[in-house]
Amino acid sequence: MRIFDPHIHMTSRTTDDYAAMYEAGVRALVEPSFWLGQPRTSPGSFYDYFDSLLGWEPFRAAQHGIAHHCTIALNPKEAGDPRCLPVLDELPRYLVKDGVVAVGEIGYDSMTPAEDTALAAQLQLAADHGLPALVHTPHRDKAAGLTRTLDVLRESGLPPERVVLDHLNEATVDEAADSGCWLGFSIYPDTKMDEHRMVRLLRLHGTARVLVNSAADWGRSDPLKTRAVGDAMLDAGFTDDEIDQVLWRNPVAFYGQSGRLELDLAPDPAAVTHEGNSILRGGE
Amino acid sequence: MLNPRDPDQEAVGDIAPRLEQQLDAPAREWLRQALAEAEAQPQKSTWELHFASAGRQCGRAAALDARVLLLHSAGPDTVTLTRLYHQGTAAERAAVLRALPHMAVGKTPDAVPLVEDALRANDTTLIRAAVGRYAAAHLDRHGWRHAVLKCLFTGVPVRSVNDLARRARGDAELARMLRDFAHERTAAGRSVPEDLHHVLELALESAPAHPPEEF
Ligand SMILES: [Zn+2]
């Protein structure tokens, strides 16, 4: 089972996770830029983070046989902090980088006017740079947040096939599907969305335009949830081809719209590490 | 040569023909146009966009060579080069380091801070790029010894270190550092990297009749 996790925050994960993910079949992932749990106080803090998503983290992933790409944006939680707003002006120099396959995560957190501005500006940046957009739907007041998100999307220059709406659930999937956008589902170890409910949704909505991710980060989360969905699909009678579509071909098709995916990593991590093994030896 | 594919170690005129052979027609055409623009309008930021997008235009494997050629054609000053390095992805930073011998700044020590920055990294692709021809010519003795040690620590093969034999030969201080490192490893019940013995042998050889210039 080959797996592409289209949304996972590896910066917060250990090398054990990378090894377990490889073991489970993960060969590619996209790491969206997001907040760190602790609010940032200056734009420079973002730039170091973005640089890491384009430097250190892809190197770490490659050492474990996993192709790493990222999405860059001013995230919804910090878009309302005036100390962070200068980041918006620096985004263009990041959006031209080879490893950047979308603008994201963008979207609403508390649905404030500042978030309106940041969302619209960044959708425009995606259109200007020929990139897709990863749009997160808010965890609080999700249904209203989705409706407002779709309004802003319609006013933007970005066609729906270039947008994925993420963190969807049973309550939001129909409206999201009607929009023509890609449908993203984050599978968590708690009640937000699990692999069995995901399988029921796949039965109802089919496997087209669906992306399944672990959204694993520093919170309670599990980087192997993509594999859990694959196994649950298998148990529920989905074919290998349908599983491959959801867990590999769909994310490749969505992020491939950037023209920047490079998935031809060495098949065996040993081949990657033989030249330099600073991770496996702990960096010492 | 140790690794004839490292673009800091070949004549810049040899890179383009070799690279063009690897590229398909659209990428070849893109490269020609990008190099022409870099040469004609080095002040315009268009070529910097080409520098950033070289990976998706030429493929990751060929991007290093393409970026080195772009830097050579545009010939940015040290300030611009430093900005490109610091605002670069790991792949772009490695290209800046590899391009140094082909640029005017390569004849000066002005880019040493970039090498030092890369040597602080833990990304072995950057460390490899940092110990190329420019470092061999411009790193001071202390910095160079630590670069060699860092390669041994991080598993970067010492054959990546440009001009290793000349700079290591007769270096008693380097020999001491290597012996101490080997002792630390042995005391911990760990093996000593094969490469260490090789460098130690070089360092223990008697110093050349004409000692290398002290930087
Ligand atoms: Zn996320």
State the SS3 of A202-228.
Answer: HHHHCCCCEEEECCCCCCCCCCCHHHH
What is the pLDDT at residue B210? 58
**How many other β-carbons are positioned within 10 Å of the β-carbon of residue A32?**
27
CA A151 to chain centre: 22
Q: What is the mean pLDDT of residues A189-211?
A: 94
- At residue A279 the predicted structure's pLDDT band, cuts being 50, 70 and 90, is very low
Q: Could B53 and A98 be called an inter-chain contact, meaning their C-beta atoms sit closer than 8 Å? A: yes
Q: How far apart are CA A138 and CA A177, in angstroms?
A: 17
Please check the confidence at residue A199 and state whether its pLDDT lies above 80.
Answer: yes
Q: Nearest-CA neighbor of A276 among B123, B163, B4?
A: B123
Q: Could B155 and A99 be called an inter-chain contact, meaning their C-beta atoms sit closer than 8 Å? A: no
Q: Tokens 């090498």 — which residue?
A: B115
Span from the CA of A75 to the centroid of ligand 1 (angstroms): 9
Please check the confidence at residue B215 and state whether its pLDDT lies above 50.
Answer: no
Q: What residue in A sits closest to B53 (Cα-Cα)?
A: A98
Q: Predicted ipTM?
A: 0.90
CA A272 to chain B, closest CA, distance in angstroms equals 11
What is the pLDDT at residue A185? 97
What is the pLDDT at residue A270? 42
What is the pLDDT at residue A267? 47
What is the pLDDT at residue B212? 54
The mean of the pLDDT values for chain B is 93
Which residues does chain B have within 8 Å of residue A255's beta carbon, measured at their own beta carbons? none
Q: How far apart are CA A177 and CA A197, in angstroms?
A: 17
What is the pLDDT at residue A275? 40
DSSP E strand stretches across chain B:
none
Q: Are B3 and B159 in contact (CB under 8 A)?
A: yes
Pairing of strands A67-72, A26-32: parallel
Q: Nearest-CA neighbor of B118 among A59, A274, A86, A169?
A: A59
Please check the confidence at residue B90 and state whether its pLDDT lies above 90.
Answer: yes
Q: Are A157 and A133 in contact (CB under 8 A)?
A: no
Q: What is the mean pLDDT of residues A248-259?
A: 98
Span from the CA of A88 to the centroid of ligand 1 (angstroms): 19
Please check the confidence at residue B12 and state whether its pLDDT lies above 70.
Answer: yes
pTM: 0.92
Q: Are B150 and B142 in contact (CB under 8 A)?
A: no
**CATH number belonging to the domain at A3-277, selected among 3.20.20.140, 3.40.50.970, 3.40.50.300, 3.40.50.280:** 3.20.20.140
Span from the CA of A216 to the centroid of ligand 1 (angstroms): 7
What is the pLDDT at residue A191? 76
With a pLDDT cut of 90, the percent of chain A lying above it is 89
Q: Could A98 and B123 be called an inter-chain contact, meaning their C-beta atoms sit closer than 8 Å? A: no
The H or E element spanning position B205 is none
Q: Output the six-digit token pair for A103.
A: 């603008």
- At residue A281 the predicted structure's pLDDT band, cuts being 50, 70 and 90, is very low
Q: How far apart are CA A3 and CA A237, in angstroms?
A: 18
Q: How far apart are CA A62 and CA A57, in angstroms?
A: 9
Query: Residue A110 has what DSSP assignment?
Result: S
Which residues does chain A have within 8 Å of residue B123's beta carbon, measured at their own beta carbons? 55-56, 59, 278
Phi, psi angles (nearest 5°) of residue A107: 135, -160
- At residue A268 the predicted structure's pLDDT band, cuts being 50, 70 and 90, is very low
The mean of the pLDDT values for chain A is 92
Q: What is the CA radius of gyration of chain A?
A: 18
Chain A CB within 8 Å of residue B123 CB: yes
Please check the confidence at residue A161 and state whether its pLDDT lies above 90.
Answer: yes
Span from the CA of B162 to the centroid of ligand 1 (angstroms): 43
Q: State the best of B3, B56, B126, B190 to mutate against chain A, taking most chain A CBs within 10 Å.
A: B56
Q: How far apart are CA A7 and CA A105, in angstroms?
A: 9
Query: Residue A6 has what DSSP assignment?
Result: S
Of A51, A262, A284, nearest to B60 by CB-CB distance is A262
Domain ranges for chain B? 1-108, 130-215
The H or E element spanning position A137 is none
Q: How far apart are CA A102 and CA A163, in angstroms?
A: 9
Domain ranges for chain A? 3-277
Q: How far apart are CA B79 and CA B84, in angstroms?
A: 9
Q: Output the six-digit token pair for A72.
A: 């860059």
